[in-house]
Structure 1
Amino acid sequence: MSIKSKILNVLFWSIVSAAFIGPGTITTATKAGANYNFDLLWALLFSTLACLLLQEASARITITSGMNLGQAIAKQFEGKSTKTLVLILIVGAIILGSAAYETGNILGSVAGLSLVFTEFPEEVFVLGIGVLSVFVLSIPSFKALAKFMGVIVIIMGISFFTTAILLKPNMTDIIAGSFIPQIPNFSALTNSTSSAGLLVLALIGTTVVPYDIFLGSGVLDKKQKISEMRFGLSIAVILGGIISMAVLMVGTTVTTEIMQKVSGETIITEEVVQNNLYKALSYSLSTKIGGWAVYVLGLGMFAAGFSSAVTAPLASAITARSLFEKGKEKEWEPKSFKFKFVWGIILATGLIFGLVGIKPVPAIILAQALNGLILPFISIFLIFVVNDPKLMGRENLNGWLVNIFMGIVVWVTLILGLTNLVKAADTAWDMALQDGNLTFISISIITLGATALILHRIYKIRNRKKKIIAS
């Protein structure tokens, strides 16, 4: 590949980064930095590698088999009574999740613009983002659309990199936070005992998202070589992870004193932090770097929100197409009514709730529960398929080291999934769970046993199929 081709390849795969770096990632990473300084950088490093492993496996399946992830799942359940239920569950979870979070994507983008253009009402920004999103989503070529989103990621990266570098963070703290896993139990921001366990899961959950895996598989050129895919995907995802880490570093500037000043509250609670986080961050950066830093932050926040406001509807349409297009390929082309209808519903939902300034909380709770089921399912499905010698051939099978790493990722997605289910149930039915740490430990032990059984099952099936092929 020429240097130009390599750059375009990275730009293309940056659509994956555009999808996972949204307002949820910005908020969660900022909170992690504000509460625990650099201590949770390792969680972002892990989640970046987990995202890369799952995306690479999904893309490798697509290149080797000629089927994207949705098609591969549909084929795996062909002729089985559970096929319809599985497909509806997956597409329902992806579409509902995208619709529920689309409001946050749009409002996050608006929050960034409001830092730069303070004189305009938010409704104008919401409508403007809606019009721009329709224009981008109407681009018929996935390649062109992906490269456009890559440019948005570059803008985002420059904004947060510049801000983080100008803060001159301590390199020793960065290295220690990145490579020494720990779950601190004291928040520097609220000045109280507070376990970081759920925040660690939130950092992983905002990076490893189900619809992003379908998105990467759906836009991939099936003629691309595996080596080319790995190069572009690796650089793009790692850069996305570095951007998330830069956001966490920027979040470390928010102190208790600053939060008290901007909120007017003496005691800093989780609710106070949630309501005043961006305001405190803006104040902190303007005093430490200069007033212009707020504009750079605003640009980065806009890019993060807008990129997710586009990729969430796109991923939903791609997921629906990949699962239901068999025999109806022309009806699901990017220019078709069905394809546009799916992304149109997602975008319209976000715009309606965005205009009234309300987040659809019940839908978000249900989406968390459904995604809690879907993410482990996809992770387990991927590790089974990439160990299938019939489908992948001997040369594209997982090695034992990759299987160990993917096993760890499966374990974490199971923890994340069950935790999201418990959180959703707790919120919906007010179960009043008293000991969050005990729940977390219990889920971790149960899912570790389940992961061990899954890996054992995979190796038994893999060896049996190898013998059948050899004979």
Structure 2
Amino acid sequence: METTATQTEPAGNTAGYWLRKLGPGLITGAADDDPSGIATYSQAGAQFGFNMLWTVLFTYPLMVGIQVVSARIGRVSGHGLATNIRRHYPAWLLYSVVGLVMVANTINIGADVSAMGEALRLIAGGPAQLYAVVFGVISLLLQVFIPYRRYVRILKWLTLALLAYVATAFVVQIPWSQVLAKMLAPRMSWKPEYVTTVVAVFGTTISPYLFFWQASQEVEDQLADERARPLIHAPAQADANLRRIKIDTGIGMGFSNLVAFFIILTTAVTLNLHGVTDIQTSAQAATALRPIAGDFAFVLFSAGIIGTGLLAIPVLGGSSAYAAAGAFRWRNSLERAPMQAKRFYGIIAVSTLVGIGLGFTAIDPIKALYWSAVINGVVSVPIMALMMLMAARADIMGQFVISRRLKVLGWLATLMMAAAVGAMFVTMRA
């Protein structure tokens, strides 16, 4: 049996080995807590206090399950989700899914860069729109001109920005016994506003762009290692890679949900307990936090918005580019020079620049973000169903079709999202 460096881990510095191996799952999980997500979690904590903490515990295993499925599809087949959909499903389904993902991602980019600009204005003063342009352009240039193997290191370091939200929680006094009681036995409600918020948290936590990004990053990692091959063609490399995917994704989604937990907790123990319940943006949450928790908590919260935005924008733009490139058979890789993948980088540029431009229009960013969440919620269900079907097909996965346990987790996540979307439409009509 073939033995390569991609199969076995060194006997020496095991901790260092796994730290280097963390990548697609860690970055995907961290990018989930973008400024738009921060706004959603802040609203959940401000409006419903500790009674919304259960959501991050509930979604964690489901999120891990569906993201492991997306990662395995990429690593086993050697292709991203859009390419696999194009090869095995009708064109109308492919183009519908890709189009909706690109629209939602672009709107999300616009909301995120605007939130970053507003956060810097709160800290330093000055023009928020100009800051938003600068942040968007910097992110775009980094993606275009820095090769993948170097750029992924930058993204890993940016995940540390999320620790600001863990630190913020410890700046304020927290009644931990009450937190634990509400977390394990929350007071739930069927009121439309409660259901809508639960749906928003689910939709923010499990989003289509995360599926496309993580599957494509597994392909990028495989291409970046000249000894690696798609697992369907190199089964000897499977054990180490599938174990890495499981650990990487478990840690990445755990990090994501931990940060979401602390954002909800911080806003619950400060804003909710002081009667501040109407929070619609992450910058508004930071502003409301200042007179209650103090300047240090305010600065930490605001700085976290900027750091997470710099991490999330490349994931949003990149997932759109991977989806389009897979659909239209374009050359695609962040490792390629711009002139070698013009259309791929063109999608990244257009998504980012149009997102920036949305901040200069009359479009209400709150409504735009709402419709982005609606699109994400609706399109996630068929994508998740397609992923589960693909992951069980021997012609795509060979001998690495997913296990019964992973099938259960993945289909539970899919059914949960379908139920959330159904509840959302019921709430919209009510």
TM range (shorter): 0.7 to 0.9
- Partner Cα distance (1:331, 1:18) in 2: 19
The corresponding residue for 1:69 is: 81
Which stretch of the first structure deviates more once superposed, 24-33 or 300-309? 300-309
Cα contact 2:36–2:281 (8 A) shared by 1: no
Q: Aligned letter for 1:196?
A: Y
Kindly state the Cα deviation for residue 140 of structure 1 after the two structures are TM-superposed.
4.5
Kindly state the Cα deviation for residue 154 of structure 1 after the two structures are TM-superposed.
0.7
Q: Aligned letter for 2:217?
A: V
**2:91 is the alignment partner of 1:87:** no
Alpha carbons of structure 1 residues 366 and 248: separation in structure 2 relative to 1, 3 Å? closer
1:50-449 correspondence to structure 2 within 5 Å: 50-77=62-89, 83-118=90-125, 120-157=126-163, 159-180=164-185, 183-184=188-189, 195-220=193-218, 221-222=221-222, 223=228, 225-252=241-268, 253-255=270-272, 257=274, 259=276, 273-274=278-279, 278-279=283-284, 281-288=286-293, 290-325=294-329, 333=336, 335=338, 336-356=341-361, 358-359=363-364, 367-368=372-373, 370-394=375-399, 396-419=400-423, 433-434=429-430
- Partner Cα distance (1:309, 1:49) in 2: 25
Alpha carbons of structure 1 residues 204 and 218: separation in structure 2 relative to 1, 3 Å? same
**2:27 is the alignment partner of 1:15:** yes
What CA RMSD, in Å, does the superposition of the two structures yield over aligned residues?
2.9
* 1:39 match: secondary structure: helix
Q: For residues 374-400 of structure 1, what are the alpha-carbon distances to aligned partners after superposition, in whole Å with 9 as ceiling and x for unaligned?
A: 211111112222233454345x33333
**How many pairs are equivalent?**
397
Q: Between Structure 1 and Structure 2, whose CA radius of gyration is higher?
A: 1
Which stretch of the first structure deviates more once superposed, 50-59 or 15-24? 15-24
Cα contact 1:369–1:421 (8 A) shared by 2: no
Kindly state the Cα deviation for residue 22 of structure 1 after the two structures are TM-superposed.
1.3
Cα contact 1:52–1:234 (8 A) shared by 2: yes
- Partner Cα distance (2:365, 2:288) in 1: 29
Alpha carbons of structure 1 residues 127 and 39: separation in structure 2 relative to 1, 3 Å? same
Which stretch of the first structure deviates more once superposed, 202-211 or 278-287? 278-287
- Partner Cα distance (1:31, 1:397) in 2: 40
- Partner Cα distance (1:175, 1:388) in 2: 42
Alpha carbons of structure 1 residues 139 and 182: separation in structure 2 relative to 1, 3 Å? farther
Q: Aligned letter for 1:201?
A: V
Kindly state the Cα deviation for residue 194 of structure 1 after the two structures are TM-superposed.
6.2
Q: Aligned letter for 1:296?
A: L
- Partner Cα distance (1:334, 1:378) in 2: 30
Q: Which runs of 5+ in 1 are unaligned?
A: 78-82, 186-192, 260-267, 427-432, 435-471
1:37-48 correspondence to structure 2 within 5 Å: 37-48=49-60
- Output the TM-score relative to the length of structure 2: 0.83
Cα contact 2:34–2:312 (8 A) shared by 1: yes
- Partner Cα distance (2:71, 2:317) in 1: 20
Cα contact 1:96–1:363 (8 A) shared by 2: no
Kindly state the Cα deviation for residue 339 of structure 1 after the two structures are TM-superposed.
1.0
The corresponding residue for 2:41 is: 29
Kindly state the Cα deviation for residue 61 of structure 1 after the two structures are TM-superposed.
1.8
Kindly state the Cα deviation for residue 281 of structure 1 after the two structures are TM-superposed.
4.6
Alpha carbons of structure 1 residues 96 and 422: separation in structure 2 relative to 1, 3 Å? farther
Alpha carbons of structure 1 residues 102 and 316: separation in structure 2 relative to 1, 3 Å? same
* 1:163 match: secondary structure: helix
Alpha carbons of structure 1 residues 168 and 369: separation in structure 2 relative to 1, 3 Å? closer
- Partner Cα distance (2:289, 2:107) in 1: 31
Which stretch of the first structure deviates more once superposed, 219-228 or 353-362? 353-362
Cα contact 1:111–1:301 (8 A) shared by 2: no
Identity among equivalent pairs (%): 17
Q: For residues 245-288 of structure 1, what are the alpha-carbon distances to aligned partners after superposition, in whole Å with 9 as ceiling and x for unaligned?
A: 111011111047563xxxxxxxx7xxxx2468744653444443
Cα contact 2:77–2:397 (8 A) shared by 1: yes
